[in-house]
Chain A
Amino acid sequence: MKNQKTTVIAALAFAATALSGCGGTASSAPSADCKPAHEFPTVAEGKLSVVLYDLPPFSKLEGNKVAGVDGDIINAIAEMECLSVSAKSVATAANIPTVQAGRADLSIAAWYRTASRAEIVGLTDPIYTDQMAIISKDGLDDAEQLKGKTVGTVDGYLWVDDMKKLLGDSLKVYPTTLNMNQDLEAGRIDIGIDSYGSAQFNKKSDFQVSVIKPHEAVAASKEAAQIAIPVPKQNAELLAALNADLKTLRESGKLEEILKANGLDSSAADTGEARLIS
Chain B
Amino acid sequence: MNFLSDWPTFLPGLLAGLGVSVQVALLSLVIGIPGGLLLAIGASSRKKAVRLLIIGVVEIGRGTPALVVLQIFYFGLPASGLTLSSMAASVVALAATTAAYTSEILRGGLQAVPQGEVEAAGALGMSRRDTLRFIVVPQGLRIAIPSLIGFAILIFQATSLAYTVALPELLSQAYSIGSSTFNYLSVLVLAGLMYAAITIPASWLTSRAEKRLARHL
Interface of A toward B, CB cutoff 8 Å: 92-93, 96-97, 100, 114, 116-117, 119-121, 152, 155-156, 158, 160-161, 172-175, 179-180, 182-183, 186-188, 230
Neighbouring B residues of A182 by C-beta, 8 Å: 75
Identify which of B21-29, B35-43, B125-133, B170-178 touches chain A: B170-178
B175 near A161: Cβ-Cβ < 8 Å: no
Q: Does B97 contact A (CB under 8 A)?
A: no
B182 near A155: Cβ-Cβ < 8 Å: no
Known interface pairs A116-B183, A175-B164. Does A187 touch B83 (Cβ–Cβ under 8 Å)? yes
Interface of B toward A, CB cutoff 8 Å: 1, 75, 78, 83, 85-86, 163-166, 168, 172, 175-176, 178-185
Could you list some 17 contacts between A and B, CB below 8 A? A93-B178, A93-B184, A96-B178, A96-B179, A116-B1, A116-B183, A119-B182, A120-B181, A156-B179, A172-B166, A173-B166, A174-B166, A175-B164, A175-B172, A179-B166, A180-B166, A183-B166
**Complex Cα gap A268–B184 (Å):** 30
Known interface pairs A97-B185, A173-B172. Does A179 touch B180 (Cβ–Cβ under 8 Å)? no
B78 near A155: Cβ-Cβ < 8 Å: no
A-B contact count (CB 8 A): 69
Neighbouring A residues of B168 by C-beta, 8 Å: 172-173
A93 near B86: Cβ-Cβ < 8 Å: no
Neighbouring A residues of B184 by C-beta, 8 Å: 93, 96-97, 100
Q: Which of B1, B75, B166, B183 contacts A175 (CB 8 A)?
A: B166
With A116-B181, A116-B183 already in contact, 17 other A-B pairs whose C-beta atoms are closer than 8 Å: A93-B175, A96-B184, A97-B184, A100-B184, A116-B1, A116-B180, A116-B182, A117-B181, A155-B176, A155-B179, A172-B168, A173-B176, A179-B164, A179-B165, A180-B166, A187-B78, A188-B86
B179 near A92: Cβ-Cβ < 8 Å: yes
| Complex: chain B residue closest to A159, CB-CB | B180
Of residues A116, A186, A188, A230, which shows the largest number of chain B Cβ atoms within 10 Å of its Cβ? A188
Neighbouring A residues of B175 by C-beta, 8 Å: 92-93, 155, 175
A188 near B75: Cβ-Cβ < 8 Å: no
**Complex Cα gap A120–B2 (Å):** 11
**Complex Cα gap A214–B182 (Å):** 26
**Complex Cα gap A152–B166 (Å):** 9
B180 near A160: Cβ-Cβ < 8 Å: yes
Neighbouring B residues of A158 by C-beta, 8 Å: 180
A224: shortest Cβ distance to chain B, in Å? 18
A120 near B179: Cβ-Cβ < 8 Å: no
**Complex Cα gap A174–B172 (Å):** 9
B86 near A172: Cβ-Cβ < 8 Å: yes
